[in-house]
Structure 1
Amino acid sequence: MKIAVVDYGSGNLRSVYQAIKKVAPLNSDVWVTEDPNKVKEADRVIFPGQGAMPDCMGNLRKAGLEEAVRGSLKRKPFFAVCVGEQMLFDFSEEGDVSALGVFPGRVVRFPANQYGEDGSRLKVPQMGWNRVRKTMDHYMWEGIPDNSWFYFVHSYYVVPADLNLIAGTTDYGRKVTVAVAKDYIFATQFHPEKSADMGLKLYSNFLTWKP
């Protein structure tokens, strides 16, 4: 199996690589690559992202990877993480930038003033562990109990125009979409590579998923 972790200068690549190596079948090739041809050649693609959306979109295009990424989205298992998930939508309030437009919807910022159930003010960015509620019956959730804990670091989140895309939500002052799925694509706002056993299970599922 050939697994490409897309390197466009905006991802937590070392942690993702190490997580994938732990769960990948023996004799798998795991590439952290900025080579579009490697992305095209891979059997499965992981698309991490972190930092500001304008930088991520700019770096992707400067690296000449946009075409390879768009092609992969249509024909092979594709897992987008954090800002990688956000980049799949139409538009982000962060920098007022157009994204890839694979899914209809926007990326919006948490309000400055929001509060938890206990009345305490919630910090932005959301940083730490939170429970994820599964809202879609999907192979990627196999072996992962509902309301499992995953690790988040984000100030922005996706608001899909198509509610059928939503595969998971969390509560952070409001109900927040944190996983989406359709066809060959599964994407999360949280970081599986920082989410201990449940994160590794999600990556393991990705490597055996046959959409």
Structure 2
Amino acid sequence: MTETTERTTPSTLTPTQRVIARRMTESHTVPSFTVSRDLDVTRLLRERAAARTAGGRAPSLNDVLVAAVGRALRAHPRVNGSFDPRGFVINTEVHVGVAVASEGKLLVPVVRHADRLSPSEIGNESSRLAEAVRGGTITGSDLKGATFTISNLGMMGVDHFTAMINVPQAAILAVGRARPVASFENGTLSAQSAMSLTLTADHRIVYGADAAAFLASVAEEVDGIDLCEDSA
């Protein structure tokens, strides 16, 4: 009896998928490292719930994070840099790309001047971009010019993951879901909410101390954001 092997015809890559494949292959050549920390979002979740109860349109945790990252990038320009064969480039503007998966495609629309926008303003722009992605009306200009990328899989129940650098950018931030954690402080055990932040960085531009300081700045910026005031 002769065995037959079932063969399938490989799918043809779209132009977008070819670009993604090329960039992901390039990212494997980057000498990268990863630094992680948890971000306490207990207060933010409480304020967001209060704002929504009062009838306000509260920014999402991702909107807050994009705002905080934008401000932290301004304070840590190397993390906002990009690699160049002659050295590296320090970008003077802060444009944050937010990875969005849609119908088998991975697109990264860009929130421009994220360091100058409030969480509510970022929420409005992110909604516009996400709607354009879903509707297939996203333009090339909306997808160009990012100096840093955020990939958030928290809404899919992911606790922690590592993202691949979007070359030639210096770094990418992977964000997990807000999850319950136990906190023991001053002799008291309490329930809090935390989300993981995992920064993968190009070691040719960013060093370990730079990455740690950047994540600390993100946490400080988040602590300084008042959602009740922003949602008013």
Give the TM-score normalised by the residue count of structure 1. Answer: 0.28
Q: Which has the larger radius of gyration?
A: 2
Structure with the greater relative contact order (CA < 8 A, sep ≥ 6): 1 or 2?
2
| Larger relative helix fraction | 2
| Larger relative strand fraction | 1
